[in-house]
Chains A and B, each alone.
Chain A
């Protein structure tokens, strides 16, 4: 599913998928048209047979599986932990993954874990730190790396670059692909009072390896990208707007708790497929 590998050809498209989670493993395995999924890399064991049976069965039937890291802390001022990079590489090999992905964010600093993805300042020095960490990571990976910009509820006080300039420079200097989370684009634009299309129009959409779609909800005037609520119509409209500009090789639903009935998940997957102009994978 590398952006280059999928260029234009309908046969190379992975279409619509959903993130693999233990709680919905049966549902995911039962999707007749599924061609790709993603698994949180840190949820997989480091050595030994390790890969859960359900995931191995998907791999063995030809479903592409992308290990998705959440703890590398690529945006940290400190160098990435080689053991964490090695784990991501191990996951890629064990799953015969076409690529791996991680976030443009930091999750720990000064020895304290935040337990969450935090935004980095959009500054030249932060870009340098991220680029160094991405290059260190790429050097150890057997497959391409796609970088995901996060949803941030706050910004740093001294941001000196626009989000588009910040992301474009990181992608350009690292050669990494883009994991575009369209719900994050929506959340950030809504919380900053901006137009999400402004960012879409400035990003290198031909470098999008795949797209995350997720639900969220408003709390106290801010939109939270919760992954536990329904996908709002505005996010589906953005999927359509994205695909009108450049249809990515793959789009997937991220659901991380409060799992709804199977029919509700099927309806969400169908809605994403319809919004993207792709075949439904549910039957």
Chain B
């Protein structure tokens, strides 16, 4: 097998495991599926670790929801995977309040277009349920109440 052929065969195998492409001939299908399933379990757990409120908001549906969303979508790292699914749920209006705050915290701290890797913002502000998030130089404040005069330090 030449280097080019090895590259093509490795690409075909990765596509079958994480992007829903057909399995190249000759592989033991149940064994590769076992690897693919194990990979999905690991990925689900990693995203839950980085997006705990998102995971908690879906409760027992988290594993199934994430697996359904991730099917055919190659992993882009736990931060981006969680971000993408959180935005897709937010777009339907079904994101729980704590998960919405979690998403807003990331949105004020990072610039992310859904295509390239997120980049840190110097500063940002965003409305969240019951108030406003403000981020400056990595520190995030959350307003106590909308229009109120107090900004409580939320996290940094």
Contacts and interface: CB of A to CB of B under 8 A. Distances in A.
Given A112-B15, A118-B14, A154-B32, A224 B38 contact: yes
Interface string B1-32: 11111111111111101110000011110011
B7 A153 contact: no
A100 interface: no
Chain B interface mostly = helix
A77 interface: yes
Q: Interface centre among A111, A152, A156, by most B CB within 10 Å?
A: A156
B3 A153 contact: no
Contacts of A158: 1, 26
Interface in A114-129: 114-116, 118, 120-121, 123, 125-126, 128-129
Contact of A125 (B1, B17, B42, B76): B1
Interface stretch (A27-35, A88-96, A102-110, A204-212): A102-110
A118 B27 CA distance: 13
Contact of B39 (A109, A114, A220): A114
Contacts of A157: 25-27
Given A126-B6, A153-B38, A257-B45, A118 B1 contact: no
Contacts of A153: 31-32, 34-35, 38
Between B10, B38, B39, the greatest number of chain A beta carbons within 10 A of the residue's beta carbon is seen for B10
Residue from A108, A152, A153 whose CB has the most chain B CB atoms within 10 Å: A153
A154 B14 contact: no
A168 B101 CA distance: 53
A219 interface: yes
A76 B10 contact: yes
Contacts of A112: 11, 14-15, 18-19, 74
Report the interface size class on chain A: 20 to 34
B97 interface: no
Given A109-B14, A257-B45, A121 B75 contact: no
Interface in A41-87: 76-78
A233 B132 CA distance: 54
B13 A109 contact: yes
Q: Which of A106, A114, A156 has the most CB of B within 10 A?
A: A114
A164 interface: no
B43 interface: yes
A110 B14 contact: yes
Given A112-B18, A112-B19, A77 B10 contact: yes
A116 B45 CA distance: 13
A123 B31 contact: no
B5 to A, nearest CB: 8
Given A78-B7, A109-B13, A158-B1, 12 more contacts: A77-B3, A106-B10, A109-B7, A109-B11, A112-B11, A113-B14, A113-B77, A120-B10, A121-B1, A123-B6, A125-B1, A224-B34
Question: Which 3 residue pairs of A and B lie closest in terms of their CB atoms, listed nearest first?
Answer: A110-B11, A157-B26, A115-B75
